[in-house]
Amino acid sequence: MKMFVCNICTADSAAFVERVRGAFPLLNVEGIDCMSGCARAQTVAFRAAGKTAYLFGDITEADFEALETFCGLYADSDDGKFRDARALGDLRHKAIARIPA
């Protein structure tokens, strides 16, 4: 699984990428220029081979716990989908896109 974090969404984006790396040391976190989620900065995306990809916006450090829950569900899913997103709390309302594998 790879996590992409926009590094130009806000003036603090480069530092945010580093905070994400610190909070998720077991993930491959890559800072990336623009994922076209500018209206909902700060954006993060998840991608894994053969799985649905996800893009979330309006992410803050307060979402890190929900993102960790998402990572567990995503890793355990064969195709990147899961039946009940309520486990993600408010993060489920921050989804911008779900892109088929």
Which of 3.40.30, 3.30.750, 3.40.50, 3.50.50 would CATH assign to domain 2-99? Answer: 3.40.30
pTM for this prediction: 0.94
Q: Which residues contact 51 (CB under 8 A, 6 or more apart)?
A: 74, 77, 78, 79, 80, 101
Given a contact cutoff of 8 angstroms between Cβ atoms, the answer to whether 51 and 80 are in contact is yes
Domain boundaries of the chain, sorted by first residue: 2-99
Write down the pLDDT at residue 70: 97
pLDDT tens for 56-95 read 999 999 999 999 999 999 999 999 998 888 999 999 999 9
pLDDT tens per residue, range 23-54: 999 999 999 999 999 899 999 999 999 999 99
